Structure 1
Amino acid sequence: MASTLNNIGNIFDDLGEFRDALEHYDRSLEIYEELKDTLRIAIVTLNIGTVYHRQKKYGEALINYQKSLEIFQVTNDLRRITTIHLNHGDISMQQGNLEEAKDLFFNSLEISKKITDKERVIKAYNSIGSVFIEMQEYDSANFYLHQAFKMAGEVGLPRRQSDAAKSLSQSYRQLNLPIEALYYNDLYTEINDSLRRNKMAKILAVRQVEIEMVKEREISFLKLKREKLIRYFSMIAFGLALVLAFVIFRNYRIKNKANKLLAEMDQLKSRLFYNISHEFRTPLTLILGPIEEMLSKTEKKPTRRKAVKMMQRNANRLLNLVNQMLDLSKLDAGSLKLELVEKDIVKFLRVSILSFASLAEQKKINFIHKLPDEKLTTWYDPDKLEKILNNLLSNAFKFTPEGGEVKCEVKLPDPGKNLVEILVQDTGKGIPADQLDKVFNRFHQEEGSHEPESTGTGIGLSLTKELVNLLHGGIKVESELGKGTTFIVQIPVGKEHLKESEYTIEKREKIPKPAIQADLEVVTEEEECPEGLYEGTKPEEEFPLVLTVEDHADIRVHIREHLEDSFRIMEAEDGVAGLAKAIENIPDLIITDLMMPKMDGVEMCKKLKTDERTSHIPVIMLTAKASVEDRLEGLETGADAYLTKPFNIKELKIRVKKLIEQRKKLRERFSREITLEPKDIAITSADERFLNRAIEVIEEHMGDSEFEVRKFQDEIGMSRMQLFRKLKALTDQTPSEFIRTLRLKRAAKLIEQKFGNIAQITYEVGFNNLSYFAKCFKELYGVLPSEYRKQA
């Protein structure tokens, strides 16, 4: 039906009956939108644009062309892209934009030749000829029009040949060549008469189609009559549905009312928090003072100094947050005024921006800054401007990975204007399109992200927006996932646009503070070890290996400093990196946070416990979630212990020690087992499956004397180190010892069953040296094989 409506619209369009054409196109578009047929939507939208084009409604036409072009570019539909370029070029020509029109026509010609579409090549030639006529370049016009006329005749396109003839007649008339002009005018008239006859035939065809559609509607009407009986019996179900809808609506109203109450409670909580935050500043100041004194004078021990610097960093972060909250409360109350100074704003911005250079170097980010060379002495508020700039640049560095780029550009006002423009651009992960309109909302955090870098408090950008509004400026954001984000701020300078009640005059300019913001949580090299293995001050091979998976650097440092004396420490910053390191290195124990970026602790634990290579590793899960449901979720995944943040470091050390001791006892018990039957040992199902498979592999190759560790690891599908640490953890045996033990146990059974002589049994179980077999047998059973046979 949709296709038929579109075809009828095409016919009405050809006949010049635009209202009927639009009516059929709109009906066709509604059906395709319900079907979510993107390609057909683009085709019909292009047709609608063509109708508006012919009606000279160029604005509506260009809107529809742009919508369809975006879809065709995604689907790489070059033919229709050329059509849009031609139509857009015609509009540009009608509006007097001849150079733009010429460029569009040549683009269309290039694509049409590339795809060998002769009809579109002819259209492009005609359009190029027309624009050259408008530009009074008649020789160039004739060149392209003759090619269009010739090619149209060859491929049998009379309408295109008619267009070329008409344009050639016009061009020769302008060149004062009446004979040629009359010749092509006669050709145009002759071809046009033929086209009119064809048009009348199409009108008859349209009417016939409409008759058929009327018939179809009558058939549909008869079908509806037959369905009345079915509807009658559906009334009961409809009644039940109404009851259900009423219940749902009632629940919705109750939920809506509850949401309103929650919103009011949130407002009350916010006000309370603002009041409390005001009281935080004094104790925070008293905390930071002694900390700075300790760092500058007394504290020299590296470990103690690291702890003090951690305290300082987090106290600064809290103080910065409190200051932002107080600014927001003042803005809400309308008590925050501008404090203006008359100074060189370019110099101020340069100092503020360049203060981020050290941060860029520390995070290994390319920092590009462009500022004008000239001075601009004017009235501005340095405190508000600094907060805006610092918030935007802090966010840019926070979201930009190592090796990325942050750009800050300042543009001075154009003549006659007073707007300073600041552009801050980064190459971070970008903001989803559906959240762009929410980024300036107070307390907004990106949905689905647990990254500490990206969650924050949701205050910074909200404060920035409100400060820009206070300055009578504007801010907008542009972002593309995977490419980065751009913030553009326009702020009026001077005081002519301000009321006297909105500002006060400051006699001294405030000096910008250092730009290393507390909420960036940058940890220097002396505070944090490089990513990977941290072996502490005593890197002894016999120390158990503990993997810490935690997205907060300070927590990793805290755990490492308290465990490194007794354990080798390896670190990962998220679940994906943690899983990879666990599989590669097979640690003795894993400590993991629950909420992490990329992969959380629950998912990582599930993957560890279902992987044969890592299923035996005990896991301790840390989390700030303290509910019973959260604990159960963690334990159900196979976690061996669960600690709630803030956790007691002594309790963590005891749990680590006890879990590793339990695994050691399990290995000792297994090593004492004579039958090597996994089902008799208290291990997980994944470990049992692994051991059963390992035993089966060795059983299959029992008589192969060349079957050794390399072939064993290939059969199992593990690296040499993974197999070594897995078997060592479960049996306290190396892979070669494990193979040898199974062969000796099989030999003992064969001796008991009187299978043959000792030499035959030796070769049957994969030994090719009788004396070596006897030596190994005696080490395991305490007697030689011959003595064992006598005892049996």
Structure 2
Amino acid sequence: MYQFIKYIVLFLAVSLSLISCKQNQGNKIKVGFSQAMTTDDWRKQMNSSIKIEASLRPEVDLTIKDAHNNVNRQIEDIERFISNKVDVIIVSPIQSKPLTAVVEKSIKAGIPVLVVDRKIEGENYTAYLGADNIEIGRIGARYIISHSKGSGKIVEITGAAGSSPAYERTLGFSQIINENKRFTIVKTIQGDWEKESVKAPMKAVLQQNPDIEYVFAHNDRMALSAWETAKTLGLENKIKFIGVDALNSVNGGIELVKSGVLDGTILYPTGGNEALKLALKIYNKESVSKNNILNTIVIDKNNAEIIENQMDKVDQQQLVIESQQGAIKVQEKEYASQNNLVRLLSFFLVIILSLTVYSIYSTISISRKKKQLERINQTVIDQNSEIQEMAAIASKSNEAKLSFFTGLSHEFKTPITLIMSYVESLIENDKIKGTALIDEVKLIHKNSNRLLRLINQLLDFRKIEEQKFTLRASNIKIYDFTNEVMANFRGEAIRRNIDFQLISKNKNLELFMDNGLMDKVYFNLLSNAFKFTPDNGKITISIVESSDNSVKIHFKDSGIGIPEEEQSNVFNPFFRASNNNKNSSGIGLHLSKEFVLLHKGSIELKSKQGSEFVITLWKGKEHLQPSEIVQKVENQSTIPSLITDNLDLETELKDLNSISDSEKHSLLIIEDNIDLVAFLKAKLSNEYIVNISDGSDAVEKALEIIPDIIICDINLVDKDGYEITKELKKDLRSSHIPIIILTAQSNKESVLKGLQSGVDQYLTKPFSLSILKQSILSLLFNREKLRYYYTNNIYRIEPESKFGNQEQTFITKMNNIIMSNVENPKFSVEELADKLGVSRVQLYRKVKAIIGINISDHINNVKLEKAAELLKSNDMNISEIAYSLGFSTPNYFSTAFKNKFGVSPKEYKTLN
């Protein structure tokens, strides 16, 4: 029998080991980013956006090296990336010429290089991503020309010598200014991108030329410095200042425009997230353009507040993304932890079963032997004594193993209790009663009760003895630690309308703690606080520094409290207060006290109105033994995985990361039933980016986000589903979006009315989730077919085409406008949008949704088609064609032409 048990134990241990090994497998894409410097907000914003994009892609291992504006150091960083054999290198050059050789070395080593923001000399790199600096110079010049009412005298402040953005911005600016004889560039000041380089030369220029009308600076910092210099001479209100960057930060371009310091600033996008996306395309050997240009706009008082609000929303969304990523990691860790605990539970259940079988077997064997011994004389007593001794040993061994098992089982009790509390609230929800979901919820509740009863029986059978723990303390920010633990209870607080607060004057206060043990202390105290605090109550955690080098952490609730005569016993094992009618094992506070004592701290109870537990810990590490202190693991969160209260039990975790956000279609659900919204969101979030509207802002939200598909109810708050559909289908900005009506109205008249309003699919409740999913896929597939048709027939859309009348009319009109202005070098996306009667953003989203490319690329394609016709006629040379079609340089024109047609303009002209 012992041999049988040994084989079972060995089998389960090997199984757990294999499963653990499988979870650790997997390779990552190594991306190295050589950043020029991080001394300004623009570079910091670039780093932030690329980090956020990397956090959304678990397959990416991103390393950022800061060269601190030192060219030699940047070369060393790139050399190190090459020697480490990263998969893709992203470079933001400090200067063009010095980095050319090392970039070529990387290309020869087989490592693709993506150059961002600034170019190197030559084109021996994989791809370039950045704004068109020549166009930025032109935009600045055009803005000055269109707004000038004075002398026409201009001062230009350039970036550092040897910097490609400085050279190209000067080139574009001079090109437009020189075409207009009324304007004169009085002085070009050579700056180095920083404020101090501007003040002295600017002051000298203003003293000699007090009638300067405009100052154009290559970034907002130098523009601000020029304004400050003008202010010292009393000229700040007579001169208008134009900058570049348009950062949404303190003293950034947008704030300076709003405050009246700058007359305007030109948006210079960082492109951090786009850089990582492009790098992954290069890694996956997808076809990418040699030059990838980021779009830009002028921001002045007319649109500064709108742009600022949009950027604030983007920043908020980035924070939400970071928060969600953290929550996902916590859930993954918790899932792995609980999965292992379940396996261990099964393991010990098998042992108990085996021991039980063995005990029964032993009892029967002993009984038989006793009957035999009764027929024998003196040997009966001796054998009976031996049997009793064997039984005592077996019983002692059995009790020791059960004791360990019941102690482990206690760890399951709190999460199961949390699950049951949420399931009970679902059962009591009137919107769920009477639905098919109630049976599933009751089944969950039934099995949760059953598991909880089993654990309580084990705890009642054998109470856990005192356990020994080894302290592993590291330096942790107590505010961040507390805030992250609280995040696991905020869902419960919102559901029960409990005022849940954290108060601390010093958010950077650090303490040496074992975060694993202190996590259990926090969780026990907060679990008790939520258990005994009524709805609409209050729970507060306060962190207070004392003058004696100690820190006190107060956990205060407005619950039922503890009778005064019983307060001295709360930390005793298995204690339950007389007013406690909740399920409780009575060892949580005892363990909490033991864990605090390990930190050489103390915990005490104050209970008058509600309960208040106060933990006292010491600053520094002198009170701890050297063996009790460990170093933090780099890049690892100091907060361990916690039991969260918002797990989606219906989610298939194995598919959690199967589709990245960048590959998902966007979906807008217009529904005022909260439960149905939650259900649809839970079922569709893995495949789609889900947006929600209760119907009050449905049309506005649809026009704001331009989703790929819409699911809409009929009976809504302000407008019904038919009216919403009609408005969206009539509006040029949203007419291409497929709409699914999901309603309880199944009569013929309702279906007919829905089809007449323009819906693409009509589904009735109760509906099949599989049918809904297939309907979404079918509509998206048809939309892709339509996009394929337009992409392959983009310059020859016929009036009799059978696809989407409004889309057909829109593309035909757009192509006619572009063709009529193809030889106009000043023709812009803004002008095209104005002629079409839509905003620039709406034009971008509409074109992107229909033909799959952005409007700038589409205009360039039309220009290149026109260039091919001009090359065939042989009336103009290549340079004349390039400039007539608005290309900045013949070289850029040749590169774009070759990317599209596969041959250079010269070869194309020879062939034709």
- TM-score tier, shorter chain, comes to 0.3 to 0.5
Please tell me whether Structure 1 or Structure 2 has the larger radius of gyration of its CA atoms: 1
TM-score, reference length from structure 1 = 0.33
Higher fraction of helix: 1
Greater strand share, structure number: 2
TM-score by length of 2: 0.29
